[in-house]
Amino acid sequence: MRVIVRTVSELCITVGTLIVLFVAYVLFWTGVRADGAMNDQIDQLHRQWSKGRLQPTASSGGRTSVPGEQTVSVTKPEPYHYGKAFAIMYIPRLGFTWNKPVLEGTGRDVLAKGLAHYQGTAQLGQVGNFAVAGHRRTYGDPFLDFPKLRAGDAVVLTDGTTWFTYRIDKGPYKTVPTDVEVIDPVPRKSGYARPGRYLTLTTCDPEWGHSHRLIVWAHLDSTQSVEAGEPRALRR
């Protein structure tokens, strides 16, 4: 009997140790790796932009005019490539040091390196819905403080040539994963009545679960050339 009790105790200790190690991996190691991967993506973008290899993505051609900032000349946007970073996102509400790369596609491999652009949704700054997903927990916790976002908050992105400032209109809105209408060109529950230049951010809810999604909708408020300096929303 003592042998059985000792064996069961040893098994419990072993299982407990494995659980602790797994939790440590999820909480710490994935975050360390993700932070490194996101920093690498941002560094690569800055190197590409310094060489002038990227084209503006604000419009399908001609000039884009958005209230609040100067008019920016743009050319036809180049296609995004799966797993490749093409922009950097800044959300002052989440901290003035908060910045994350945006990559094409929403596969697990992509979400482990930054924020993920839903394939098939609009490109940055274009008419339609530019939709982006991010982890709430694990892999750097990019959207951990997502519930803090409020109407009027700025979401700023750059593609290396242009700054795009979106303003949140609604959210965080809670829904279920099957509610794919949230990334439609004109999301039905967003309050938007006609086509425009919109942004949708999505993340999981609760923090450690996947039963629901939190959604934020925003409209393109202003654009300006990178050469003109940072937009007002990023100035402290």
Residue 123 sits in a domain whose CATH number is 2.40.260.10
Contacts of residue 100, defined as CB under 8 A and 6 or more positions apart, other chains included, come to 38, 88, 89, 114, 115, 134, 142
Q: How many domains does the chain have?
A: 1
Name every residue whose Cβ is closer than 8 Å to that of residue 150 and which is 6 or more positions away in sequence. 93, 168
User: Cβ contacts of residue 215 below 8 Å, gap of 6+?
Assistant: 171, 172, 173, 174, 175, 182, 200, 201, 202
Bridge partners (DSSP) listed for residue 103: 85, 116
pTM across the whole model: 0.81
Cα separation, 53 vs 47, whole angstroms:
9
**Rounded to 10 degrees, what is the CA torsion of 82, 84, 90, 93?**
50
Instruction: Give the C-alpha separation, 203 to 143, whole Å.
Output: 7
Q: What pLDDT, on a 0 to 100 scale, did the predictor assign at position 37?
A: 83
- The string of pLDDT tens digits covering residues 11-44 is 555 544 444 444 445 555 565 566 788 999 999 9
What pLDDT sits at residue 59?
42
Taking the C-alpha atoms of 94, 100, 106 and 111 in order, what is their torsion angle to the nearest 10 degrees? -90
Q: Select the more confidently predicted residue: 85 or 236.
A: 85
Q: Cα 141 to chain center, whole Å?
A: 11
Local structure of 99: helix, strand or coil: strand
Q: How would residue 7 be classed by pLDDT, with cut points 50, 70 and 90? A: low
Beta strand 154-158 pairing with 162-175? antiparallel
- Return the pLDDT at 17: 47
User: DSSP secondary-structure letter at 82?
Assistant: B
Q: Residue 144 belongs to what domain range? A: 2-234
The model's pLDDT over 121-173, given as tens digits with 9 standing for 90+, comes to 999 999 999 999 999 998 899 999 999 999 999 999 999 999 999 999 998 99
What pLDDT does residue 116 have? 98
- Is the pLDDT score of 233 beyond 90? yes
Q: What integer pLDDT is reported at residue 4 of this predicted model?
A: 60
